[in-house]
Amino acid sequence: MSLLEVNNLVVEFPNRHCVLRALDDISFSIAPGEILGVVGESGAGKSLTGASIIGLLEPPGHVASGEILLEGERIDNLSADKMRHIRGRRIGAIFQDPLTSLNPLYTVGRQLTETIQAHLKLNDREARQRAIDLLKDTGIPAAEERIDHYPHQFSGGMRQRVVIALALAAEPKLIVADEPTTALDVSIQAQIISLLKNICRTRGAAVMLITHDMGVIAETCDRVAVMYAGRIAEIGPVHEVINHPAHPYTRGLMASIPDMEADRERLNQIDGAMPRLNAIPKGCAFNPRCTKVFDRCMEERPSLMPAGVTLAACWLHAPDYQAVDVVIEESV
């Protein structure tokens, strides 16, 4: 059974003039111990998907339809008080900027022990020892001394390790990591990636890793979901999506990564920009920027369909489109 299931999730933001649909019919699952990467341009809905799962949607945003299941239990319709017990205990969160998760007025030890005691029945001594063990597990040296330091006394990479320790404090089954390596240099990125992979291997936790960085995705994830304009464009095993992308948008993303061995005057790019929420085109949302567009793309919205090993929301992989191609080739 999947640890997390997201079925036909729709998130809307009503305003005075209209209702903006930020996530439109999102479906995916994460198995225990799996790392699922979520990638796409800014505004694609990656962070919003994570916020929906951990119950931190900013009003007036709300889940309009669909459902989110954690270990078979529906969590998207829970009250704020009930969701608070799940958040931290069963779902951990790691954010891009550690300082948004850490209180500058409290030592990291106080913040860790408070989190631990909020979810686990431990006394002060046991909670402090667990906090020290967590800091050691996340690679912070001299944890017995550093536990009494304040966030500003840690470097950026060390602060991110403290946040990971916070996320692991109550041994959650799922961790939502929203761009945890973006603000870090390359060497620290590699250490954090290694730490996340080790967490999955030793603790059996699953991770939803949200990032812009395809390199991080390739190094870390088992599967990857590519998002565009609040929809999933393609999802599948990471090496298949990277090496054999099925959706034109995924191909464009991969082609935009500079090749160190190729000598070229101009870098590849995807022309145009992602549509605004109040101007998403009819049919496939990518059709104004797609080089493979045809009539059906501008009339009907494609659902995820088999495209080899992956699933892609593209009419190029519809069985009837392939049949038309065969007829044309035979007639020629």
Domain span at 198: 4-228
Predicted TM-score of the model (pTM): 0.90
Domain boundary among 209, 228, 247: 228
Same-domain check for residues 195 and 236? no
Q: What is the pLDDT along the chain (332 residues), one digit of tens a residue?
A: 789 999 999 999 999 889 999 999 999 999 999 999 999 998 999 999 999 999 999 999 999 999 999 999 999 999 989 998 899 899 999 988 888 889 999 999 999 999 999 999 999 999 999 999 999 988 899 999 999 999 999 998 899 899 999 998 888 999 999 988 877 788 888 888 888 888 888 888 899 999 988 888 998 999 999 999 999 999 999 999 999 999 999 999 998 887 777 777 777 889 999 999 999 999 999 999 999 999 999 999 999 999 999 999 999 999 887 544 433 333 33
In a domain, 99, yes or no: yes
HSE-CB at 91 with a 13 A cutoff on CA atoms is 26
Same-domain check for residues 284 and 215? no
Same-domain check for residues 313 and 172? no
H-only helix segments in the chain: 46-54, 80-89, 108-119, 124-137, 143-146, 156-168, 186-203, 214-220, 238-243, 248-255, 319-331
SS3 content of the chain, % helix, strand, coil (to 5): 40, 20, 40
Same-domain check for residues 178 and 319? no
Same-domain check for residues 29 and 91? yes
The number of distinct structural domains making up the chain is: 2
